[in-house]
């Protein structure tokens, strides 16, 4: 049960799939009941919170919807059904997402029923352009398909480091792809956006790190495709992932959105690392997310050349000083006022400076940041095991890597542009994740981001041996998402429709 | 013993699309028909119980009591509830308590004025979580059917028969409606129509498995036993009346293959009437879908759990105007049911009562149930939402 106006304002009940369990008889409710119907008055104060956000459920029954109510017409056809959790103790309604049903496809409902499902965090339904966008986790996908069910169990840290670093990360892209000109690009499902990608990435980072979400004291979300001009993505992430200590319906966490084109997230790596290193901050962990439903005008419009490269996805990194998997050795950032790519307020799509986005923009800043940091740390090209550049297209990162003297084995592992497209704020963080997925202890990683406008952040990271232990907690690796057998390829028209959202 | 409320007259409009008629014209028409029949004047009414689900939404009419007062030029107590069953229960309670001796019970709805949004409005009758998850007014019926098939392990030839039985329900209701001048769809359909609609929808249930949206109004005059005899020699008594309530959220209910409210309401109504289920020869069931008619036969106890489709299938091989259940005849939805008579929510229950009233008085014309013995008892089941509320009425006459 819920009420529409309240749920629109306070959507975390449905976002998190929260409920209560009676400690006396074990009866479970998909609502915040203060007492148990069976146990009555004696159960007051004995109802404990539970949520189904990280749980695996089962699709009990389903039906095919091809004439949805008005708020769902943009979805076209979909599967709706009843899900059960905790061996059938609790039943809730749900919509199968990430599933396209073609116009004349025969739907065999029995092929869906009885299968295990994972709740997914998505947009709830269509609303007007001026309205708050409601979200919900009453959407689901099958646990044996693209998105795996992974348990979230917090791990007590056993080692403290002198220097802060990355303690966990998560990468999320959708299961849809468009394949053009030898590159594949990830395409959001129609109910996905930068907000949902940020939440998914953050969720996977918590799972990977084993960090107790209540110990995350700050969350930064960098994006240039927030569906709101005013309203942070970070607050939604904080609420859904329960970052910081929960006190009634408020999370004890500082949450902020950051912006600087594609380096909105990488810029904050040093802030997050510094924050957890400051003894009086009282913040043990800080999370940085870069997430974008990368925007591009349609191909025949001004700025439409970007439409060949844009992808969709999010990356989340948790910084701290305990059980670090990659220590931060140093950083260098540079900035200049360079209008190579911009989007005016109120405009739906960004504009692009054509050939001026190369030499005076991307190359100038990436080159400067990389060289300055290597000089500062006294590093030679051979000292770096992996080079991770920002990846706006296929040629730029290769050209800069070669120019800086890196060999293929140093830069190729990080190049994900041909798998996912340019994920904007998530671009270089995605490359970093691909490297962290495979790096060995003590290897050095040099990441250089780029944000139009313009600037670059360079970081040098050194992997620790704790990364090997944590790898077991992350099945949704970059490679897994790039080479997944459940990927679904869509044509250009579908791609534009899905990207535009509901 | 409680006094028995008596229905002395019933009236209704045709159901369907009343494009040009305002809501007050509809309820006025229903009232006039019933009052003329009973030769009763407005001034005789001591209270009014009106029902509608959606007037505030569809016609932007709030405080419908005032609207009814303006229409009738009466200043008596008036109350509005959501379903005819509920309005009637209020009327019965007042009569039985001795508070009033003559009341009007009416229902009206005008849904087609808002055809483009009415399916979203109908979701108000279900829980918000289901709506948020993409549920439609039809989806729970389909889920219930799937749950039923799974629970009773119906496969192969039996499943084919079950699907045909459901199609026959629709065909049968359309057939009955051809004899009902007030019905929305007075035309025959065939099993092929039903099956083709399902095929087009690529679903187990199609257009012909569901009741339409409708405009219409119904009314009846309810009195106590004493007053009834002043107006008519043939009052129809409400011998049993009962209602029950269940969770709004379908998925949170214990059973997904039955409606608990029906089970409770029929038990209490029978007890109140002091008769056995087997005494009932005619029933108006709430067939919002063909599945609902089938399930209701089980919920009321006419058929065993998991078996109703068999009786329906067998009866419809050579349909004679009734279902043959365990050797007994039961005529169901003689007015065409919600499927063909129409389903203007707030007025629907009134059309069900109208039908049983006419059947018991042998005034149903071509629709009149011809049984081995005279029809003595009839029952009405009205549901609100997807089985969130259930009302059962047992009607009868000439008990002396």
Give me the residue from A14, A64, A69 closest to B119, CB to CB.
A69
Inform me whether the C-beta atom of residue B129 falls under 8 Å from chain A C-beta atoms: yes
The residue of chain B with its CA nearest to that of A90 is B252
Question: Residue B31 is encoded by which pair of tokens?
Answer: 């009232």
The residue of chain A with its CA nearest to that of B122 is A69
Q: Check residue B397 and give its pLDDT.
A: 84
Please tell me the distance from the alpha carbon of residue B386 to that of residue B256, in angstroms, as a whole number. 11
Q: Which residues of B touch A91 (CB under 8 A)?
A: 251-252
Q: Are B119 and A4 an interchain contact pair (Cβ–Cβ within 8 Å)?
A: no
Inform me whether the C-beta atom of residue A30 falls under 8 Å from chain B C-beta atoms: yes
Q: Check residue A13 and give its pLDDT.
A: 78
Q: Which residues of B touch A137 (CB under 8 A)?
A: none
Q: What is the mean pLDDT of chain A?
A: 95
| Sequence ranges of the domains in chain B | 6-116+213-231
The residue of chain A with its CA nearest to that of B123 is A69
Inform me whether the C-beta atom of residue A256 falls under 8 Å from chain B C-beta atoms: no
CA distance A80 to chain B (A): 6
Percentage above 90 pLDDT, chain B: 93
Q: Which residues of B touch A3 (CB under 8 A)?
A: 128
Question: Residue B272 is encoded by which pair of tokens?
Answer: 């109140």
Q: Residue window 97-156, chain A: list those with CB within 8 Å of chain B.
A: 105-107, 109, 113, 124-125, 134, 136, 138-139
CA distance A194 to chain B (A): 21
- The residues facing A468 across adjacent strands are none
pTM exceeds 0.90, yes or no? yes
Q: Check residue A287 and give its pLDDT.
A: 98
Percentage above 70 pLDDT, chain A: 98
- Which residues 6+ apart lie within 8 Å of B164 measured at CB? B191, B313
Q: What band does B2 get if pLDDT is binned at 50, 70 and 90?
A: low
Q: Residue window 130-159, chain B: list those with CB within 8 Å of chain A.
A: 130-139, 142-143, 146-147, 150
- The residues facing A259 across adjacent strands are none
pLDDT in tens, B233-269: 999 999 999 999 999 999 999 999 999 999 999 999 9
Give me the residue from B128, B131, B142 closest to A63, CB to CB.
B142
pLDDT in tens, A110-165: 999 999 999 999 999 999 999 999 999 999 999 999 999 999 999 999 999 999 99
Inform me whether the C-beta atom of residue B105 falls under 8 Å from chain A C-beta atoms: no
Instruction: Report phi then psi at B20, rounded to 5.
Output: -95, -5
Of A3-17, A340-354, A391-405, A481-495, the least confident: A3-17
Q: What is the mean pLDDT of chain B?
A: 95
pLDDT at A10 over 90: no
Inform me whether the C-beta atom of residue B120 falls under 8 Å from chain A C-beta atoms: yes
Residue A175 near residue A487, CB atoms below 8 Å = yes
Q: Are A106 and B139 an interchain contact pair (Cβ–Cβ within 8 Å)?
A: no
pLDDT at A2 over 70: no
Q: What band does A306 get if pLDDT is binned at 50, 70 and 90?
A: very high
Geometric angle at alpha carbon A261, from A337 and A492, rounded to 5°: 130
Write down how long chain A is: 502
A441 three-state secondary structure = coil
Q: Are A62 and B146 an interchain contact pair (Cβ–Cβ within 8 Å)?
A: yes
Q: Which residues of B touch A1 (CB under 8 A)?
A: 127-129, 248-249
Look at residues A315, A310, A307 and name the one whose alpha carbon lies nearest to residue A294.
A310
Q: Are B133 and A64 an interchain contact pair (Cβ–Cβ within 8 Å)?
A: no
Please tell me the distance from the alpha carbon of residue A62 to that of residue B133, in angstroms, as a whole number. 12
Q: What CATH number should be reported for the domain whose range is A160-500?
A: 3.40.47.10
The residue of chain A with its CA nearest to that of B139 is A63
Q: Which CATH architecture has domain B6-116+213-231?
A: 3-Layer(aba) Sandwich (3.40)
| Sequence ranges of the domains in chain A | 4-17+52-142, 160-500
Strand order, beta sheet including B102-110: B78-81, B47-51, B102-110, B215-223, B6-12, B236-245, B389-396, B377-384, B280-284, B328-332, B323-325
Residue A351 near residue A199, CB atoms below 8 Å = no
Q: What band does B3 get if pLDDT is binned at 50, 70 and 90?
A: confident
Give me the residue from A61, A66, A106 closest to B143, CB to CB.
A61
Question: Residue B333 is encoded by which pair of tokens?
Answer: 């939805």
Q: Which residues of A touch B131 (CB under 8 A)?
A: 69
Q: Which residues of B touch A14 (CB under 8 A)?
A: 129, 132
Q: Which residues of A touch B132 (CB under 8 A)?
A: 2, 7, 14, 124-125, 134, 136, 138
Q: CA torsion, points A446, A451, A454, A456, in degrees to nearest 10?
A: -10
Say which residue, A356 or B324, is predicted with more confidence: B324
Inform me whether the C-beta atom of residue B248 falls under 8 Å from chain A C-beta atoms: yes
Other residues' Cβ atoms within 10 Å of the Cβ of residue A315 = 34
Q: List, by residue number, the catalytic residues of A.
A: 224, 262, 390
């Amino acid at each position: 049960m819920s009420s529409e106006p309240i749920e629109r304002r306070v959507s975390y009940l449905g976002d998190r799939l929260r409920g209560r369990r009676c400690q006396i008889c074990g009866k479970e409710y998909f609502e915040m009941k203060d007492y148990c119907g069976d146990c009555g008055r004696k159960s007051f104060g004995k109802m404990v919170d539970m949520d189904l956000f990280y749980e695996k459920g089962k699709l009990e029954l389903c039906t095919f919807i091809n004439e949805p109510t008005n708020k769902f017409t943009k979805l076209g056809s979909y599967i709706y059904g009843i899900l059960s959790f905790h061996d059938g103790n609790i039943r809730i309604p749900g919509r199968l997402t990430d599933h396209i049903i073609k116009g004349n496809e025969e739907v065999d409902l029995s092929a869906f029923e009885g299968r295990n499902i994972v709740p997914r965090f998505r947009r709830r339904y269509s609303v007007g352009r001026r309205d708050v966008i409601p979200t919900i986790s009453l959407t689901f996908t099958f646990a044996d398909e693209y998105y795996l069910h992974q348990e979230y169990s917090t791990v007590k840290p056993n080692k403290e480091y002198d220097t802060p670093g990355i303690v966990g990360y998560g990468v999320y892209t959708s299961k849809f792809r468009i394949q053009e000109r030898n590159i594949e690009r990830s395409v959001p499902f129609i109910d996905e956006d930068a907000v949902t990608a940020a939440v998914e990435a953050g969720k996977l980072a918590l799972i990977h790190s084993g960090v107790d979400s209540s110990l995350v004291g700050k969350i930064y979300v960098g994006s240039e495709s927030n569906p709101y001009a005013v309203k942070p993505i970070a607050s939604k992430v904080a609420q859904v992932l329960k970052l910081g200590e929960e006190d009634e319906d408020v999370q004890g966490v500082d949450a902020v959105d950051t912006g600087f084109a594609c380096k909105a997230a990488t810029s904050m790596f040093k802030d997050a690392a510094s924050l957890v290193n400051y003894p009086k901050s009282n913040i043990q962990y800080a999370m940085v997310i870069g997430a974008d439903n990368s925007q591009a005008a349609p191909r025949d419009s001004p700025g439409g050349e970007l439409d060949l490269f844009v992808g969709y996805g999010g990356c989340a990194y948790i910084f701290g000083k305990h059980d670090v998997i990659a220590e931060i050795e140093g950083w260098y950032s540079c900035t200049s006022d360079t209008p190579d790519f911009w989007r005016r307020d109120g405009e739906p799509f960004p504009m692009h400076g054509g050939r001026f986005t190369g030499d005076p923009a991307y190359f100038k800043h990436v080159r400067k940041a990389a060289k300055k940091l290597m000089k500062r740390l006294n590093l030679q090209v051979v000292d770096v095991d992996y080079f991770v550049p920002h990846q706006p297209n296929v040629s730029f990162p290769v050209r800069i890597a070669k120019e800086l003297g890196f060999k293929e084995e140093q830069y190729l592992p990080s190049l994900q542009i041909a798998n996912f497209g340019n994920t904007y704020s998530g671009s270089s963080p995605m490359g970093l994740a691909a490297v962290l997925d495979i790096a060995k202890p003590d290897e050095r990683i040099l990441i250089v981001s780029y944000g139009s406008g313009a600037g670059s952040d360079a970081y040098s990271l050194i992997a620790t041996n704790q990364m090997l232990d944590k790898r077991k907690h992350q099945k949704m690796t970059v490679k897994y998402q790039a080479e997944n057998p459940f990927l679904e390829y869509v044509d250009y028209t579908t791609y534009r429709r899905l990207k535009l959202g509901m | 013993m409680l006094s028995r409320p008596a229905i002395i007259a019933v009236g209704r409009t045709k159901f369907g699309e009343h494009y040009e008629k305002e809501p007050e014209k509809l309820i006025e028409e229903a009232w006039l028909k019933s009052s003329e029949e009973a030769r009763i004047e407005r001034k005789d009414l001591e209270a009014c119980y009106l029902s509608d689900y959606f007037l505030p939404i569809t016609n932007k009419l709030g405080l419908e009591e005032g609207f009814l007062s303006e229409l009738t030029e009466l200043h008596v107590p008036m109350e509005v509830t959501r379903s005819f069953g509920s309005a009637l229960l209020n009327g019965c309670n007042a009569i039985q308590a001795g508070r009033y001796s003559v009341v009007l019970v009416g229902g009206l709805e005008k849904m087609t004025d808002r055809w483009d949004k009415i399916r979203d409005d109908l979701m108000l009758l279900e829980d918000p979580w289901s709506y948020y998850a993409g549920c439609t007014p039809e989806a729970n019926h389909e889920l219930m059917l799937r749950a039923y098939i799974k629970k009773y392990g119906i496969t192969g030839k039996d499943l084919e028969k079950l699907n045909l039985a459901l199609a026959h329900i629709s065909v049968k209701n359309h057939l009955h409606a051809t004899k009902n001048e007030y019905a929305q769809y007075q035309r025959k359909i065939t099993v092929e129509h039903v099956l083709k609609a399902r095929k087009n929808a690529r679903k187990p249930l199609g257009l012909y498995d569901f009741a339409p949206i409708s405009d219409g109004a119904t009314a009846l005059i309810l009195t106590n036993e004493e007053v009834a005899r002043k107006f008519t020699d043939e009052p129809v008594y409400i011998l049993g009346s009962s209602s029950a309530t269940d969770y709004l959220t379908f998925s949170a209910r214990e059973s997904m293959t039955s409606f608990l409210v029906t089970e409770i309401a029929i038990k209490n109504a029978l007890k109140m009437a002091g008769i056995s289920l087997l005494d009932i020869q005619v029933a108006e069931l709430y067939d919002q879908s063909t599945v609902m008619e089938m399930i209701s036969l089980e919920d009321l106890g006419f058929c065993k759990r998991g078996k109703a489709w068999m009786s329906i299938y067998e009866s419809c091989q050579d349909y004679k105007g009734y279902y043959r259940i365990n050797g007994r005849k039961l005529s169901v939805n003689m007015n065409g049911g919600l499927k063909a008579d129409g389903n203007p929510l707030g007025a629907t229950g009134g059309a069900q009562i109208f039908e049983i009233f006419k059947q018991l008085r042998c005034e149903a014309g071509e629709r009149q149930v011809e049984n081995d013995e005279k029809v003595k008892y009839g029952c009405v089941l009205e549901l609100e939402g997807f089985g969130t509320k259930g009302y059962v009425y047992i009607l009868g006459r000439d008990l002396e």
